[in-house]
A = this chain, B = another copy of it.
Amino acid sequence: MKSISIKTGSQFDTINITAQIQNLVGDSGIAEGLVHIFVPHTTAAVTINEGADPSVVKDIMKELGKIVPLRDDYLHMEGNSAAHIKSTLVGASEVVMIENGSLVLGTWQAIFFCEFDGPRNRKVFAKIFEG
């Protein structure tokens, strides 16, 4: 299992981690298989979406903020229930195939860490399976 360290810059943030995951795959020397990417936090998530136009992930984060309001008579007293709910909607993990030593992603796809309760120091775990 490998680990990536991330420092998010604000309450809501998205960080393109595609190159870092690709580097882990390259370092492993595994040509064919899959990589499991896992966020060990409950107020963050990982998603795969467009990496070319940075407006896309901004729109995703902004709309998530409308779907899940920051304040809504939540029971959890820490004030970050919206972040927990977004984490469940987007999800804590992704699985990506590896072919010829490279991540199999569509032309426009990139892997994004999503911060919903930053800024914080965060981790992303990755495990590579041959097959």
Contact = CB atoms under 8 A, between A and B. Distances in A.
A42 B68 contact: no
Nearest to A93: B95
How many copies of this chain does one complex carry? 3
A59 interface: yes
A16 interface: no
A10 interface: no
Main secondary structure of the interface of A (DSSP, over half): mixed
- How extensive is the interface on chain A, given as a class? 35 or more
Interface string A66-97: 11100010111110010011011111111111
Contacts of A67: 67-68
A48 interface: yes
